Structures are given as C-alpha cells and as structure tokens.
C-alpha cells in the first residue's frame, strides 16, 4: 500500500440532510440544493465561498432522465461558476464523492469544498427502480440470466447461514435494532419500531430474505462542507476531523468470488483506513455500515474487524451492536430504516457520524464517542469505501 505524505488534515465544518422517504413533491435538484444550503448555513458560509462541488449520484440518467447533474445542482443553488463533478460508484457514490472532496482539501488544491449526494428513486415504479439497482451487478454474467439484486444478496445470506450457522432470527434482529434506532431519528423514512416476529413473517423476496430484510426505495439528499483542519475553528459549530479513508475493490460478479460470505472490498478498505489512522477496530465507538440487506450488516461488522468471521449474527442477537453496547452499529437506523437514497447514502452516514461526534444525536446519542467509522459499498460489493472520523479535540 502506497503511503501518501504531506497531506493537510481535513475537517467537516457543516452538515445538512433532507427528510428521506417517498418525496413526491421534491425533485432531485431540490433535494441536492436543500441539503447543500443546510450544510453551508451550519458552517456559517455563503455560496460564493465554495471552491469545488462534488455530487454523489448513482443513476439520475435512468431514474429521472437527467445526466450532468452536478452542474445542474450548482446552477440552481446559485453557484453556477463553481466547478462541479458527479461521482458514480453504484450505492457507494456518496462515499466515493466524500473521498474525492477529502483528497481535494488534503492535497491543498482547494480550501472550501461541498460534497453532496442525492437520489430521486420514486419517479419510476418499484420494479424499474430495482432493475436499475440490479444494473450495478454484472450485467453480462449475472442479471442477463435473471439474477436480481435481491437474489444475489440472498445467495450471500444462504452461504453465510450454511457456513457460519447464521439464522433467520439473527437476520431479523438486525432489522429490529435498526428500526429501534430509526424511531429516534426525525429524518428516517420508517421512524418506528418493529418486532422479530413481524420481520420473519413478512412476504418472501428471495429466500432467505423477506421484505423486512431489505432496505426501501427512497428519495433524499445529504451534504457536508470540508475545509483544512487548521481553519476549522474559524467557522460556526464544532468541527469533526476525517482522520483517514481506505478504498477497496473485488470481482464485479459474485460467482467469481471464492467466499461470498465475505466482502473482500470491505476488508481491504478497512485495512487501509485503520493503518492510515493508526487505530484498531476496538478503538471505534460507533459505525454506520452499509445494510441494504440484513445480511450485509452482519457481513460488514465481521469484515470491518468488529467481530470474528461467523460471529456477526450471534453478536447481533446478543445485543452487542445495540446503542451503547460493545459497538453501536447504525445509530441512524441505517439504510434499512432510515432509508436508501443510493447516491446520498455515504453522505447520510457522514452526517450521522458528525452528529454523534458533536454530541448532537439526541435520543440515539452514543456515550462520549471518540472515533466513528462509516462504510459504504457499491453494487454487490465490488467497491467499498471506509472513512474514520474523530471528535475534535
């Protein structure tokens, strides 16, 4: 792994997000603008102070028939002169956009960077939205033969169950926990609790995954403002430092992977992020992990090193991932209950991490957190990005 030296430290000084849900009365540009303006206001900044805009977006071309979305959002936000770039990496688009913003500031090329993410998924029917999600898998060797996004993750779930003893009760407990957290989040799509019995008895989507093992189709946006850490104290609010990031990759097609109960891209991204931050998994107080399916969270907490491989399901069932337990996982409600506006997911995770580290998360607040981790994956795990954030000292 190549080490990069002489980079500047980077801080998040502003955050903003929209409500997540089926937002029929708002367009993609409105969602992006709302989140970005909230983030600027939080930092006490004006649009003319922004030097660069990155926008995470997975599939505006198919979902709303609009490409070139970064300049579109910049234009309607009143900052058309600001250079803007769209970043696409499947459901990891938001996290990858954050990484690009981080690198722009850390390198010294820019000082004030806004990173946003937005997706408008409900302008098409549910089946069409699912087909678009499935296009982030391998089209030529998987989806053309009928494999859907749901069925590919169901294969991972069945493999994990067969090889590690993971149970449907343990999968259901992921949903129960995340809905309990979302009930404390005013921006969540499903801010209400559920029961293990309800989750297990939900209609089957792809065995062994039922309806409540799957994250919803969502609209929403989120944004953060970045600056050099040396300038962070000159802006409004308490800054949070991004101490490291790591990116990993893997085979595009699930059938090419030797072990489909492990996401190697996550392992690789986490290894880099921990090394660059000089921390270990046990130093992390909370994590927002990618849980587009309940099995994905169980694999993620193993692949990120919080629990041994095969222990994620049992750890969840024993309450070790609940709020203020061994490690607080998906305090926001995660994709499962907070919602899944795919291009915004990585930025929604960043917003939650900042709220936690600033002590502003309300009823879902983690006790005195020092480090938080956010984990965003694209497609069926061919790409992954991990950021580690730290409370400002």
DSSP string, 29-52: HHHHHHHHHHHHHHHT--GGG--E
- Do 62 and 193 have their domain in common? no
Residue 137 lies in a domain: no
Range with the poorest average pLDDT among 60-64, 235-239, 326-330, 373-377: 235-239
- Do 164 and 272 have their domain in common? yes
Angle (CA) 261 265 270, round 5°: 105
- Do 117 and 183 have their domain in common? no
Q: What is the model's pLDDT at position 214?
A: 97
Tokens read off for 275: 């090394």
Residue 23 lies in a domain: yes
Using pLDDT thresholds of 50, 70 and 90, give the confidence band for residue 393.
Answer: confident
Residue 287 has pLDDT above 90, yes or no: yes
Using pLDDT thresholds of 50, 70 and 90, give the confidence band for residue 5.
Answer: low
Q: What is the model's pLDDT at position 390?
A: 97
Q: Are 177 and 321 in contact (CB under 8 A)?
A: yes
- Do 71 and 30 have their domain in common? yes
Q: Beta strand pairing status for 383-391 and 240-249?
A: antiparallel
- Do 226 and 210 have their domain in common? no
Residue 93 has pLDDT above 90, yes or no: yes
- The CATH number of the domain where 32 resides is what? 3.40.47.10
DSSP string, 269-297: HHHHHHHHHT--GGG--EEE---SBHHHH
Q: Answer with the residue of higher pLDDT: 300 or 131.
A: 300
- Do 159 and 93 have their domain in common? no
- Do 71 and 156 have their domain in common? no
Residue 3 has pLDDT above 80, yes or no: no
- Do 194 and 250 have their domain in common? yes
Number of neighbours of residue 78 by Cβ within 10 angstroms = 13
Q: What is the model's pLDDT at position 2?
A: 59
Residue 211 has pLDDT above 90, yes or no: yes
Q: What share of the chain is helix, strand, coil (3-state, %, to 5)?
A: 40, 20, 40
Residue 19 lies in a domain: yes
Residue 85 lies in a domain: yes
3-state secondary structure of 189: coil
Residue 269 has pLDDT above 90, yes or no: yes
Rounded distance between C-alpha atoms, residue 29 and residue 79, angstroms: 13
User: pLDDT, tens digit, for every residue of 219-264?
Assistant: 999 999 999 999 999 998 789 999 999 999 999 999 999 999 999 9
Total domains present in the chain:
2
- Do 154 and 298 have their domain in common? yes
Order across the sheet with 219-228: list the strands: 84-87, 52-56, 113-120, 219-228, 10-17, 240-249, 383-391, 371-378, 286-288, 328-329
Using pLDDT thresholds of 50, 70 and 90, give the confidence band for residue 157.
Answer: very high
Give the residue numbers spanning the domain of 382: 145-214+243-391
Q: Where does the chain have alpha helices with state H? A: 28-43, 60-63, 69-76, 93-106, 126-134, 149-164, 168-182, 196-200, 264-277, 294-303, 312-317, 334-337, 345-357
Number of neighbours of residue 163 by Cβ within 10 angstroms = 14
3-state secondary structure of 157: helix
Rounded distance between C-alpha atoms, residue 309 and residue 141, angstroms: 28
Residue 3 lies in a domain: no
What average pLDDT does the chain have?
96
Residue 73 has pLDDT above 90, yes or no: yes
Residue 139 lies in a domain: no
Q: What is the model's pLDDT at position 1?
A: 58
Residue 18 has pLDDT above 80, yes or no: yes
Q: What is the model's pLDDT at position 237?
A: 77
Number of neighbours of residue 48 by Cβ within 10 angstroms = 9
Quick one: which of 233, 299, 230 has its CA closest to 260? 299
Paired residues of 17 in beta bridges: 222
- By the 10 Å C-beta count (0-12 exposed, 13-18 middle, 19+ buried), 24 is classed as exposed
Find the mean pLDDT for residues 72-97: 96
User: pLDDT, tens digit, for every residue of 333-362?
Assistant: 999 999 999 999 999 999 999 999 999 999
- Do 179 and 62 have their domain in common? no
Find the mean pLDDT for residues 368-384: 97
Find the mean pLDDT for residues 279-290: 98
- Do 103 and 193 have their domain in common? no
- Do 368 and 263 have their domain in common? yes
Where among 204, 234, 264 does a domain terminate? 234
Tokens read off for 347: 């930025």
Residue that has been written with the tokens 């600027």 in this structure? 40
Residue 131 lies in a domain: no
Q: What percent of the chain has pLDDT over 90?
A: 94
* Residue 204 φ then ψ, to 5°: -75, 140
Rounded distance between C-alpha atoms, residue 52 and residue 105, angstroms: 10
Q: What is the model's pLDDT at position 6?
A: 83
Rounded distance between C-alpha atoms, residue 115 and residue 226, angstroms: 8
Q: Beta strand pairing status for 383-391 and 371-378?
A: antiparallel
Residue 4 has pLDDT above 90, yes or no: no
Rounded distance between C-alpha atoms, residue 295 and residue 148, angstroms: 16
Q: What is the model's pLDDT at position 38?
A: 96
Positive or negative: CA dihedral 126, 290, 378, 84? positive
């Amino acid at each position: 792994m190549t080490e990069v030296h002489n980079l500047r430290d980077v801080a998040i000084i502003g955050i903003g997000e929209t409500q997540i849900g089926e937002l029929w009365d708002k367009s993609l540009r409105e969602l992006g603008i709302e989140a970005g303006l909230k983030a600027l206001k939080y930092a006490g900044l004006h649009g003319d102070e922004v030097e660069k805009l990155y926008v995470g977006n997975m599939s505006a071309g198919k979902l709303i028939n609009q490409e070139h979305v970064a300049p579109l959002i910049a234009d309607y936000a009143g900052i058309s002169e600001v250079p803007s770039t769209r970043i696409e990496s499947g459901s990891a688009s938001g996290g990858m956009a954050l990484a690009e913003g981080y690198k722009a500031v850390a390198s010294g090329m820019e000082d004030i960077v806004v990173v946003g993410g937005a997706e408008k998924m409900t302008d098409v029917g549910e089946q069409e939205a699912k087909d678009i999600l499935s296009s982030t898998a391998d089209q030529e060797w998987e989806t053309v033969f009928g494999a859907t996004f749901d069925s590919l993750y169901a294969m991972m779930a069945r493999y994990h169950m067969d090889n590690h003893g993971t149970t449907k009760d343990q999968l259901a407990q992921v949903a129960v926990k995340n809905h309990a957290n979302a009930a404390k989040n005013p921006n969540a799509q499903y801010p209400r609790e559920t029961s293990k019995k309800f989750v297990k008895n939900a209609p089957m989507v792809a065995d062994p995954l039922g309806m409540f093992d799957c994250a919803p189709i969502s609209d929403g946006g989120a944004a953060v403002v970045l600056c050099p850490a040396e300038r962070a104290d000159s802006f409004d609010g308490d800054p949070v430092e991004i101490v490291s990031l790591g990116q990993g990759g893997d085979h595009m097609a699930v059938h090419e992977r030797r072990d489909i109960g492990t996401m190697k891209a996550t392992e690789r991204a986490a290894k880099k992020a921990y090394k660059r931050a000089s921390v270990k998994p046990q130093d992390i107080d909370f994590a927002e992990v990618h849980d587009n399916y309940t099995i994905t969270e169980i694999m993620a907490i193993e692949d990120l090193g919080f629990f041994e491989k095969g222990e994620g399901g049992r750890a969840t069932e024993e309450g070790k991932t609940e709020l203020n337990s061994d490690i607080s996982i998906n305090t926001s409600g995660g994709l499962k209950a907070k919602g899944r506006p795919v291009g915004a997911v990585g930025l929604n995770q960043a917003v939650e991490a900042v709220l936690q580290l600033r002590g502003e998360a309300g009823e879902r607040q983690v006790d005195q957190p020092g480090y938080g981790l956010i984990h965003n994956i694209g497609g069926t795990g061919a790409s992954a990005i991990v950021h580690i954030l730290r409370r400002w000292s």
